[in-house]
Amino acid sequence: MLGILDQCRPRRRIASVLTAVVGVLAALIVGVAGPQPATASVAVPGSTTCDATGCWTAVESAPGPLLLGGVSCVGPGFCVAVGGGAQRWNGIRWSEMDTSDVLTTDHGFSDVSCTSVSFCVAVGAGAPAMWDGSTWSSMADPNTGRQLSGVSCKSPSFCIGVGITPGQRSYAEMWNGSDWSAMTTAEAADQPDYYYSDLSRVSCSSTTFCMAVGYENRISLAGATIQMWNGHKWSITPTHEAKFSTLADVSCAGSYCVAVGDSYGMSEGSDVTLAEEWKGGAWSIMTTTNPSPYLNLPIPGCDTSGGCEDKLLSVSCTSATSCTAVGVTADVTFAEKWNGTLWSTMTTSNPSSPAGLPAATQHLLTGVSCITSDTCVATGYYGDKHTWARTLTEVHSALPTGLRKINPTDPLA
C-alpha cells in the first residue's frame, strides 16, 4: 500500500504521486471504515529529536483510520489536518472532527486552508467542504469531474483551489464567499498530443497575488510548472529547473515565495531535493541539502543508480527569512529550514512501530504549516509499505532556554 512512493523512474510526477498517496489512501480508508464520528483522545508523546533549529516531537494523532496529508494552522492552539477525514490540534492533543456529512466512501481530502478558528476549506476529489467553527458542511460547487489537490484562502470570501480536469489539464477555481467559479489557467503553447498539466498546490498572500505549482509535459521538455494569479488572469512564470523536475508545494509570505519538490539529478543518479524562490519578479534555484546515503549507490529494483527517495513534499514560510520544508529521504522523514541565506537540515523524528505490528520501513512527511519561525506542525504517515500505515504528526518548537546548541560552524547556531 505504501510502495507507491518507492517506484523508481527516470522521471516521476510528484504532484500526481502526492495526490495519489493522499487521495487514494484516504478513499481506501474511508471506504473500509466509513466516515468517522468525532472523538477525542489524549496525545501519546513519541520520540523527540533536537538540533540547533529546535526540537521535532512525534505526537500520536486521534484514534481512527486516518492518513493525513494537508495541514493548516492559524495559531499554536488551532490547526486542522485532513486526509481520510479531519483532525484538530489544540496545542496539546489531536481530536477527530466529524466529517460524516461531507466525506463519501470514494474520496478523501487532499488539502486544507484555514483563515481563523471558524473558517477552513478542505478540498479533494469531491465537493469542497467548509468548517464554520462547529461543523463541516459541503460547499455547492457546479464544477464536477475535476480533482482539487490544493487550496489557499485569504478570507471567508476568497479562496483558490487548484488541481486537474478529467482531460488532464491544469485547473483552478475561485470562491467568492457564496459560489465557486472555474478560472481559465495558463497552458504551454507547445503542446504535444499527450499534453498533461497538473497543479498540485497553491499559495495566496492576497486576492491579487497567488502562486500555483505542479507538473506539465511539453514538446520541448517535461517538468515543473509555475503559474501566477495577478487578480485578473493566470500566467506561466518561467522556472529555472523545468526538465526532469516537479514542484509539490509552494508558500508565499507577502511577495516572497518558495516552491519545493524534486529533480532527477543526472550527476547524482537519483532524485534530489529542489527549491526555488520568487523575489524581485523572477524565480531562482536555491541550494538545498540532500542527506540520502543512497546517492550514487546501486539500489535493487531501481532503473538508475540512485536512491529514488530524496524529495521535498511541502513548505511553509512565515517570512522571507524563515521557511520550513518537509519530505522524505531514504524512507525516513526529512526537513530543512531556510534562514534567509541558506537551507540547513533539521533532525526529525521517526517513531517505531506500535506493539504487535511489523517494523516500520517508511516514514514521510507530506504537509507542514508554521505559525512562527520556530513553531510548526507537520503531518504524514509511516508503515511497513505493505500491510499497515499509521498517521504521523510532528510538532516543532524552539529549544528551551539554555539548551540551544552552540556550534561556531553552524550558521543557525
Give the confidence band of 298 by pLDDT, cuts at 50, 70, 90: very low
pLDDT in tens, 271-282: 789 999 999 789
Tell me 37's DSSP state: P
Q: Over pLDDT 70: what percentage of the chain?
A: 75
**Which whole number is the average pLDDT over 395-407?**
58
Q: How far apart are CA 27 and CA 33, in angstroms?
A: 10
pLDDT in tens, 34-87: 333 333 323 334 578 888 889 998 888 877 656 788 999 999 899 999 998 999
Tell me 409's DSSP state: T
User: Cell numbers 477525514 correspond to what residue?
Assistant: 85
User: Rg for the chain (alpha carbons), in Å?
Assistant: 20
List, in sequence order, every beta strand (DSSP E) within 60-157: 68-75, 78-83, 86-89, 94-97, 109-116, 119-124, 129-131, 136-138, 147-155
Contact 84, 65 (CB under 8 A): yes
CA quadruple 74, 79, 82, 85: dihedral positive or negative? negative
pLDDT in tens, 216-265: 876 666 788 999 999 999 999 987 665 678 899 999 999 999 999 988 76
Residue 5: is its pLDDT beyond 50? no
Q: How far apart are CA 59 and CA 380, in angstroms?
A: 11
**Which whole number is the average pLDDT over 401-411?**
34
Mean pLDDT rounded to a whole number for the chain: 79
Q: How far apart are CA 311 and CA 292, in angstroms?
A: 10
Q: How far apart are CA 223 and CA 235, in angstroms?
A: 17
Residue 377: is its pLDDT beyond 90? yes
Q: Over pLDDT 90: what percentage of the chain?
A: 48
Contact 328, 382 (CB under 8 A): no
Q: How far apart are CA 129 and CA 377, in angstroms?
A: 22
Better-scored residue on pLDDT, 410 or 386: 386
